[in-house]
């Protein structure tokens, strides 16, 4: 594992000035920031390393390989597309890290070329043989037996051929529009067709209705888990699409396109309709990458690239299927629980059992839930009780991402039909969930829910739910605040914190934020919540500066924070100043981190770790020692420009001391005790996997918390 990792780490290590320069460096110097795009690639590379980790169940390693490919797709769709657009629009000035768009694209290509090579090496040399040892076989054309070939040929004729539409390229059939990330084949031909045409080239598109992985029936194979890629079947029998002609070559390819949506919110009257129009065109937006098979001739690869407006520097060759992420279907179709993560039962406090009075339980005390170790079900049950409780008069909720068949959405519909006042803030612009959110917004509106699309120019990313209940002649509010989304599926796969509270000050704050989102008026003063885009950035800087002053005064000073990404330059410079003053800074940053830790004289008191494991680390937690009066927060916001200035976010205090201590332990301290799934960031942008010392037991934070949940 170390050899492949080390090779990659060299490829994504970012050049930095000499240490002597750092010690006296101006904190505004761009060299003190790591490049955002290369840092994101380093995260994807860490995911790929999980596919190589023999300590992880085999089919889960396959999933991690697929996740690394999906991450790389999104990287091109969003980040590479953004850098390319800067170049095209003449914005050639360096970014915060000092790299120009052209230099960034050059560094990105070098890192991606190596990563793609390693992805296919992992598939071909490690995972495929390991799967075969477990009688899960991915059969290439060269190893098909006669009976298997006969069955596949029949399957091709009956299930695949009828939905394929080959397109010969000639003046009457110009190059077609190719859908984003769709599987296609360029076919080299010789001979004349029925009309005397001889173009020499045809395209075949594989509709998305066709499964990309085909299971061979057990009666035709040696076991129940023999699979073939759709691309292999099309390659084998492609000549049947071109009767009477000679097929000289068949080469799969895939194009990746810019997937950002561009809607001028100030110039439109109906955001949902405008987004739907943009979504129709997203699949055919500007191309940013072309993937071709390794055996594709250069002439054909260049021809395809030219048709997509791409140069040779945007071509990536694949030693296998161009849609490698489709291997995840093998995991879904293979019934081998011994090769997957073992199931575990999330705990749920007895006081929050669905048969009890959840409002009474929350009125007595705040409840803190750590998902997925604590079940998300109490949040659903609370809403269900609110729907069925005649004393509940109003329900307000934000929805950023939620499942297609979300129980929460169904309950909101029931509440509206039961005559309750229901207001839902639906963020239509949640990337890649736009269509799903338009659909659920329509469903809610048809049920009588007041649906609001948030604020022009600001995505609503806060996770809040508010219930108003009449008790003994007075109105009382109950709230849920979270670091994650209202998505029951991701609540089982992402680590996040939920707070259930009846604290009057906190509930009033949530009410005021909902007023801002659904109505008009100036931002109101909040009691306990900290909100962006108004004061979260300033408040965090003030708390960092406070710790800095404590350190200068010789007092104990600590800053612990966990987030998905850290990119905002002013926050990074504040942390550098804190480190120089002697503040102990411990950060858990899962993905992008533009801060350089461990630099003598600059950031030698800062450590940065990334935890990767079974669950996606998603929670945002901030903790400040404050000279013996600690402050601990959960939040929806990362320390990025977009979260701090361009989104509606909430940061909520964990007021009960034991709950706050639990947040610090389970989010920060255990992550720094982890010597199994933790990666430590170095000053040059390189990540090193943390190993236990000879006298240490192996500790993995997620495994430990699963065990504690099972013992509760």
**Which residues participate in the annotated binding site?**
71, 401, 431, 494, 590, 618
d(CA 26, CA 56): 44
Contacts of 527 (CB under 8 A, 6+ apart): 505, 506, 508, 509
Contacts of 226 (CB under 8 A, 6+ apart): 137, 139, 148, 215, 216
Contacts of 508 (CB under 8 A, 6+ apart): 477, 527
Contacts of 469 (CB under 8 A, 6+ apart): 359, 386, 389, 391, 392, 393, 475, 476, 477, 478
Peptide bond into 14 cis (omega under 30): no
How many residues are given for the chain? 712
Direct distance between the N- and C-terminal alpha carbons of the chain, in angstroms, rounded to an integer: 35
Computed on alpha carbons and rounded to an integer, the radius of gyration of the chain in Å comes to 27
Binding-site residues for ATP: 71, 494, 590, 618
Please spell the DSSP secondary structure of 278-302, one letter per residue.
HHHHHTTS-EEEEEEETTS-HHHHH
Name the 3-class secondary structure at 685: coil
The closest alpha carbon to 576, from 596, 554, 552, belongs to 596
461 tagged catalytic: yes
H/E stretch holding 363: helix 358-364
Geometric angle at alpha carbon 294, from 289 and 296, rounded to 5°: 85
d(CA 698, CA 313): 44
Q: Exposed, middle or buried, 350 (CB in 10 Å: 0-12/13-18/19+)?
A: exposed
Binding-site residues for Mg(2+): 401, 431
Instruction: Name 474's bridge partners.
Output: 471
Catalytic residue of the set 461, 537, 550, 623: 461
DSSP assigned state of 519: S
Catalytic residues: 461
């Amino acid at each position: 594992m170390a050899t492949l990792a080390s090779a990659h780490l060299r490829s994504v290590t970012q050049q930095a000035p000499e240490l002597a320069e750092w010690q006296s460096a101006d904190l505004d110097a761009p060299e003190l920031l790591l490049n955002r795009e290369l840092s994101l690639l380093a995260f994807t590379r860490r995911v790929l390393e999980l596919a190589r980790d023999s300590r992880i169940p085999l089919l889960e390693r396959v999933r991690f390989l697929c996740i690394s490919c999906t991450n790389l797709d999104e990287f091109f769709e969003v980040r590479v597309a953004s850098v390319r657009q800067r170049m095209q629009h003449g914005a050639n000035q360096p970014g915060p890290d000092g790299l120009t768009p052209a230099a960034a694209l050059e560094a990105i290509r070098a890192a991606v070329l190596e990563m793609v090579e390693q992805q296919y090496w992992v598939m071909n040399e490690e995972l495929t043989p390991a799967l075969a040892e477990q009688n899960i076989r991915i059969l290439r054309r060269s190893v098909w037996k006669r009976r298997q070939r006969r069955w596949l040929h029949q399957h091709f004729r009956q299930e695949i051929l009828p939905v394929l539409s080959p397109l010969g390229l000639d003046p009457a059939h110009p190059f077609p529009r190719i859908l984003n990330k769709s599987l296609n084949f360029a076919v080299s031909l010789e001979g004349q067709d029925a009309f005397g045409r001889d173009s020499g080239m045809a395209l075949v598109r594989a509709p998305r209705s066709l499964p990309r992985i085909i299971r061979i029936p057990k009666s035709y194979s040696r076991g129940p888990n023999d699979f073939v890629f759709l691309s292999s079947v099309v390659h084998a029998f492609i000549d049947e699409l071109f009767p009477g002609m000679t097929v000289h070559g068949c080469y799969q390819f895939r194009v990746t396109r810019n997937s950002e949506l561009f809607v001028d919110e100030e110039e439109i009257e109906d955001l949902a309709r405008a987004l739907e129009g943009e979504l129709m065109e997203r699949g055919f937006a500007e191309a940013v990458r072309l993937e071709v098979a390794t055996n594709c001739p250069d002439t054909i690869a260049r021809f395809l690239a030219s048709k997509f407006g791409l140069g040779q520097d945007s071509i990536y060759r694949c030693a296998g299927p161009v849609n490698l992420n489709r291997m995840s279907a093998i995991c879904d179709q293979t019934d081998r629980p011994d090769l997957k993560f073992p199931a575990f039962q999330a705990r749920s406090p007895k006081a929050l059992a669905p048969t009890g009075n959840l409002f009474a339980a929350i009125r007595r005390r705040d409840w803190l839930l750590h998902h997925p170790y604590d079940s998300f079900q109490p949040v659903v049950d609370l809403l269900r009780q609110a729907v069925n409780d005649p004393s509940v008069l109003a329900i307000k909720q934000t929805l950023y991402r939620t499942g297609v068949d979300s129980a929460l959405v169904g309950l909101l519909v029931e509440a509206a039909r039961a005559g309750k006042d229901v207001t839902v803030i639906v963020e239509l612009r949640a990337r890649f969930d736009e269509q799903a959110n338009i659909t659920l917004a329509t469903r809610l509106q048809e049920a009588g829910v007041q649906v609001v699309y948030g604020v022009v120019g600001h995505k609503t990313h806060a996770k809040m739910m508010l219930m108003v209940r009449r008790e003994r002649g007075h109105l009382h509010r109950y709230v849920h605040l979270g670091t994650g989304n209202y998505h029951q599926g991701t609540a089982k796969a992402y680590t996040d914190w939920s707070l259930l509270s009846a604290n009057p000050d906190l509930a009033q704050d949530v009410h005021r934020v909902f007023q801002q989102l659904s109505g008009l008026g100036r931002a109101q003063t909040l009691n306990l919540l900290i909100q962006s885009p108004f004061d979260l950035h300033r408040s965090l800087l003030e708390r960092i500066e406070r710790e800095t002053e404590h350190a200068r005064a010789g007092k104990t000073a600590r800053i612990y924070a966990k987030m998905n990404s850290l990119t905002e330059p002013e926050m990074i410079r504040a942390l550098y100043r804190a480190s120089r003053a002697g503040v102990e800074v411990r950060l858990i940053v899962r993905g992008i981190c533009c801060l350089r830790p461990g630099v003598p004289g600059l950031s030698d008191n800062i450590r940065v770790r990334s935890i990767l494991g079974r669950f996606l680390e998603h929670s945002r937690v901030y903790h400040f020692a404050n000279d013996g009066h600690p402050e601990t927060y959960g939040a929806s916001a990362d320390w990025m420009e977009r979260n701090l200035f361009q989104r509606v976010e909430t940061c909520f205090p964990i007021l009960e001391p034991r709950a706050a201590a639990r947040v610090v332990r389970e989010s920060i301290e255990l992550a720094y005790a982890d010597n199994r799934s933790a990666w430590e960031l170095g000053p040059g942008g390189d990540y090193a996997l943390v190993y236990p010392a000879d006298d240490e037991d192996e500790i993995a934070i997620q495994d430990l918390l699963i065990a504690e949940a099972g013992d509760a």
